[in-house]
Structure 1
Amino acid sequence: MPQWRISMEQINFYKSLQTPCFVLDVAELKRSIDGYQKALDSNFQKAIVGYSVKTNSTPYCMRKAGDFGAYAEVVSHDEYELAVLCGFPTNRIIYNGPMKSKETFVEAVEGGAIVNIETKRELEWLKDLDRSQQYKVGLRLNINISHISEEDADGDNDNSRFGFSDETSEFADAVGYISNLPNVSLNGLHIHRTAHSRSVRFYERSVEYACNTIKKYDLDLDYLDVGGGYFGIFPNKPTYQQYSDAFYNVLKANDLDNLCLIVEPGNALVASCYTFVSEVIDHKEVEKDHWFVTTDGSRNDIDPFFKKSGYLDEEIYQKETPVVETQTISGCTCLEYDRLFTLKDKPLLCVGDRIIYHNVGAYTMCLTPMFIRYIPNIYALENGECKLVREKWTAKEFIQKTII
């Protein structure tokens, strides 16, 4: 029999679930949020951890993140409304991105949310604020990684379509526009940009670029929002504390360590707290000692970008089976390329056996298409108990709000 890396108690737990499904480990979510907040608090008088809703918009998970002290970081009017429905007060929402609606933008600014302006139309909307009150907004600064940290760039010109550029007149014009409004002041800078390296060096240089911009325009700010894109959950990778120390050291050197530091981790918070459970529904020997194993899950569920070359997977067998040379583990769709990984010289997986995928909470549920099989169950494991927090969709849910 295979040597289990998970306990018999966990094996029995995974066997009890209706597959396919995701499982949220609430304690792991809390550990991640607390870990980053503690690292920031060790350096800064005020620091905020924003839960990236686009990375995982499961309402139960969002509400728990709020309970654990995180703000909701949203990038559209739909996400803003979802955050409100999940219990986040307006003044604990960070509102980013180009897909704001005018109504939610005005509501957020007037309600004390951290609003980072992304588009020129948002600048125009500032005129619709109550003229009898004073308001504060942030502004997103465009960052070209090739220009500030060449070693971390992806290609010769790793530019960005987001934010206002100080390499042209865009940023200066936006600063000037806000300064001419009698009831609005600029109180923050948003510099979110993710490098594939996720290196501490990249964040040091990004913050240095922000500091130079702040000094160039003599900005009197309350916060610096450095965005997301961190590791923090993998061994032999930069830790939350290393990122925090890097932010602080650069800001301290520029006499700006009094700023509130805002981070918006996505992957770092939610990847490790979710697993995906699928069940084997068929196997076929298509060539000599080469088996295709079909599961009720899909690569769409855990790798919607179809970029991963491997997964943190474990197999749960019901009984002892012969070792076979090759098994290609496949999904349930009719797509030929719905193939997840290959097992070599392992016991043959049979109908009813289960496969567990770890660290699959980031950009999976949000991007999974409803192709052939609709969105699956989500369970939450909390205080030793498991409960269903999102029921799978059937055809009834699929056709809601449609005309047939």
Structure 2
Amino acid sequence: MSGALPDPAAEPGWDYDRLAELAGRHATPFHVLDTARLDRAARDVLGALGELSRPATAYYSVKTNYLPHLTRRLARHGMGADVVSGYELEAALAAGFEPERIVFNGPVKTEEELALALRHGVRVNIDGEHEIEVLDRLAAEAGQGTVEVGIRISPGVPVSTSTDPSYRLQAELAARRNRFGWPAGSPQLARLVRGIAESPHLRLTAVHAHLSSQIVHQELMLRALEPVLGEAAELHRRFGLREVNIGGGFGVPGIRRPRTGPLSALWGLHGSAPAADEEPSLDTAQLLADVDKRMQDLGLDGVALACEPGRWLVSDAMAIVTRVMSSKELPEARWLIVDAGNNVAPWTGSGEVHRLVPIGRAFAPDRSTWSVAGPLCYENDIHGQAVDLPEDVRTGDLVCLHDTGAYSLGRSNNFIRTRAAVVAVDGEQEQLVWRAETGQDVFRLADPDPDPLPPGGNPGPAE
């Protein structure tokens, strides 16, 4: 193993002058996709997988960002796709992902979606027990022979920690109650495996796990994977597996999620706080190498290793350019209000911290603490309560919001304000690849009013 995958945040930075120039042609807020950054991340992940001792596959998690310009590019790199709905499956096929390199995950799959997967030869990873009967029946009706399926396993082990013991207790409980997949070593898992084994048209060939999101604790992730790999080794002896998929959630350095629980809030009321958590960095290449070796130790020879690097691939490849619309000097806070809200940056207000950088001109060296919020008439539309920014930031200035490629476009909405455009840059080339939403777009699915109000907006006299 040649060492850690490159840290995306340490790669050459954004060209802020270029972003400010784009703001002269595109109304803010808008997303920018840097295809060079996306390509670099794809090559790095595929290169790390290529160094393992076994066949390896990267399935791009389409739910992370379904932008067609982006998915088509990743398909051309030879990646597979992970989908969790029927329309994502259709989008993956349209983007050029090969059907045999698409996996269908997720807790709910309708009969129509399962039929679509079977029709295209897409493997389904079973989560709901009823999927066994439906898949077996659909395969019989279609005259298919044996259909390969996977099974999702949950280890019940947390993959994050904190100096706050109340956070640790919450994480442990959440891991045990995880509703995705089936607990390793449980009678429920044994019953599901038995159901697949007894189905005439199904064959179990894959094990899948997805532990969490934005995972940064390497040792905890390896510990959580241990029961999954143990189950996989036993299933391989019985059925002959083809693939073990360890999921994704690989943490990126450009985002921070404070790990605090109710005890931190109580401490804060008394003017205290737990010791600050260190923010480790996940060495994804080393993680894959360690899993590869552990699979070898457990007798999983020849079984492919797969992963689903969604956030890791796209987070740093996109940024949002937004503009300061107003500022307020209040007794308890200095507010900057920008035109990008959590309708275009949905993780705003959820404790996810992203870097904010004023761009477009020279700023004073003096710094100040600002509270930065979006434009929505909604109390949680806040990018940061205490952001270190230049003292002289003012209305009209541009701000770059970093690491916005993951869970922005797909989760964006038109609550109060419409969704933003996406501009792709490829070297000197510039292309609008997703236009901004309009008010007409918002209401185009509405039923026409069969009895519209007369001019003036008031109903006529009652009869």
Q: Give a deviation string over 1:351-383, Cα, whole Å, max 9, x none.
A: 321000111211222223311111101111113
Q: CA deviation at 1:10?
A: 3.0
Q: CA deviation at 1:144?
A: 0.7
Asked if structure 2 preserves the Cα contact closer than 8 Å seen for 1:200 and 1:242, the reply is no
| CA distance in 2 between partners of 1:85 and 1:345 (Å) | 43
Asked if structure 2 preserves the Cα contact closer than 8 Å seen for 1:331 and 1:338, the reply is yes
* Helix, strand or coil at the partner of 1:145: coil
Which residue is 1:138 aligned to?
150
- What TM-score results when the alignment is normalised by the length of structure 2? 0.78
| CA distance in 2 between partners of 1:45 and 1:10 (Å) | 42
Q: CA deviation at 1:302?
A: 2.6
* Helix, strand or coil at the partner of 2:107: strand
Are 1:229 and 2:249 matched, yes or no? yes
Change (3 A) 1:308 1:398: same
Unaligned runs of 5+ in 1: none
Which residue is 1:209 aligned to?
227
Asked if structure 2 preserves the Cα contact closer than 8 Å seen for 1:22 and 1:379, the reply is yes
Which residue is 2:195 aligned to?
177
Q: Which moved more, 1:17-26 or 1:329-338?
A: 329-338
Q: CA deviation at 1:226?
A: 0.7
Asked if structure 1 preserves the Cα contact closer than 8 Å seen for 2:32 and 2:318, the reply is yes
| CA distance in 2 between partners of 1:38 and 1:6 (Å) | 24
Unaligned runs of 5+ in 2: 1-12, 163-167, 255-278, 449-463
Change (3 A) 1:233 1:65: farther
2:41 pairs with 32, 38, 43, which one?
32
Which residue is 2:91 aligned to?
82
Change (3 A) 1:401 1:84: farther
Q: CA deviation at 1:128?
A: 1.8
* Helix, strand or coil at the partner of 2:212: coil
Asked if structure 2 preserves the Cα contact closer than 8 Å seen for 1:178 and 1:186, the reply is yes
2:335 pairs with 269, 286, 292, which one?
292
Change (3 A) 1:192 1:257: farther
Asked if structure 1 preserves the Cα contact closer than 8 Å seen for 2:348 and 2:381, the reply is no
| CA distance in 1 between partners of 2:287 and 2:389 (Å) | 41
2:175 pairs with 135, 158, 177, which one?
158
Which residue is 1:400 aligned to?
444
* Helix, strand or coil at the partner of 2:87: helix
| CA distance in 2 between partners of 1:157 and 1:337 (Å) | 24
| CA distance in 2 between partners of 1:27 and 1:184 (Å) | 42
Instruction: Give aligned pairs, total.
Output: 398
Which residue is 2:418 aligned to?
374
* Helix, strand or coil at the partner of 2:239: coil
Are 1:60 and 2:72 matched, yes or no? no
Q: CA deviation at 1:14?
A: 4.4
Q: Give a deviation string over 1:247-297, Cα, whole Å, max 9, x none.
A: 111011112141111101222111111101101222343449x64322211
Q: Give a deviation string over 1:132-161, Cα, whole Å, max 9, x none.
A: 522211111232116x99998813462211
Q: Which moved more, 1:153-162 or 1:22-31?
A: 153-162
Which residue is 2:382 aligned to?
339
* Helix, strand or coil at the partner of 1:13: helix
Counterpart of 2:181, as a letter, is G
Counterpart of 1:225, as a letter, is N
* Helix, strand or coil at the partner of 2:154: coil
Change (3 A) 1:285 1:83: same
Change (3 A) 1:110 1:202: farther
Which residue is 1:10 aligned to?
18
* Helix, strand or coil at the partner of 1:350: coil
* Helix, strand or coil at the partner of 1:158: helix
* Helix, strand or coil at the partner of 1:49: strand
Q: CA deviation at 1:345?
A: 7.3
Counterpart of 1:220, as a letter, is G
1:301 pairs with 298, 320, 344, which one?
344
| CA distance in 2 between partners of 1:72 and 1:384 (Å) | 29
Q: How does 1:104-143 map to 2 (within 5 A)?
A: 104-125=113-134, 126-129=136-139, 130-143=142-155
| CA distance in 2 between partners of 1:240 and 1:344 (Å) | 30
* Helix, strand or coil at the partner of 1:79: helix
Q: Give a deviation string over 1:174-208, Cα, whole Å, max 9, x none.
A: 22222223332111111221276543323433443
Change (3 A) 1:183 1:311: closer
Asked if structure 2 preserves the Cα contact closer than 8 Å seen for 1:321 and 1:347, the reply is yes
Q: CA deviation at 1:225?
A: 0.9
Q: How many percent of aligned residue pairs carry the same amino acid? A: 25
Q: CA deviation at 1:215?
A: 3.9
Counterpart of 1:127, as a letter, is R
Q: Give a deviation string over 1:211-231, Cα, whole Å, max 9, x none.
A: 322344423100001111113
Change (3 A) 1:209 1:315: same
Q: Which moved more, 1:310-319 or 1:61-70?
A: 310-319
Asked if structure 1 preserves the Cα contact closer than 8 Å seen for 2:213 and 2:248, the reply is no
RMSD, matched Cα: 2.9
- What TM-score results when the alignment is normalised by the length of structure 1? 0.88
| CA distance in 1 between partners of 2:352 and 2:252 (Å) | 21
| CA distance in 1 between partners of 2:229 and 2:16 (Å) | 53
Are 1:258 and 2:302 matched, yes or no? yes
| CA distance in 2 between partners of 1:282 and 1:150 (Å) | 38
Counterpart of 2:70, as a letter, is C
* Helix, strand or coil at the partner of 2:105: strand
* Helix, strand or coil at the partner of 2:204: strand
| CA distance in 2 between partners of 1:279 and 1:305 (Å) | 16
| CA distance in 1 between partners of 2:226 and 2:359 (Å) | 49
Asked if structure 1 preserves the Cα contact closer than 8 Å seen for 2:349 and 2:381, the reply is no
Q: CA deviation at 1:320?
A: 6.3
Change (3 A) 1:107 1:383: same
| CA distance in 1 between partners of 2:79 and 2:374 (Å) | 35
* Helix, strand or coil at the partner of 2:321: strand
Asked if structure 2 preserves the Cα contact closer than 8 Å seen for 1:28 and 1:272, the reply is yes
Q: Give a deviation string over 1:331-355, Cα, whole Å, max 9, x none.
A: 1112244332345573322332100
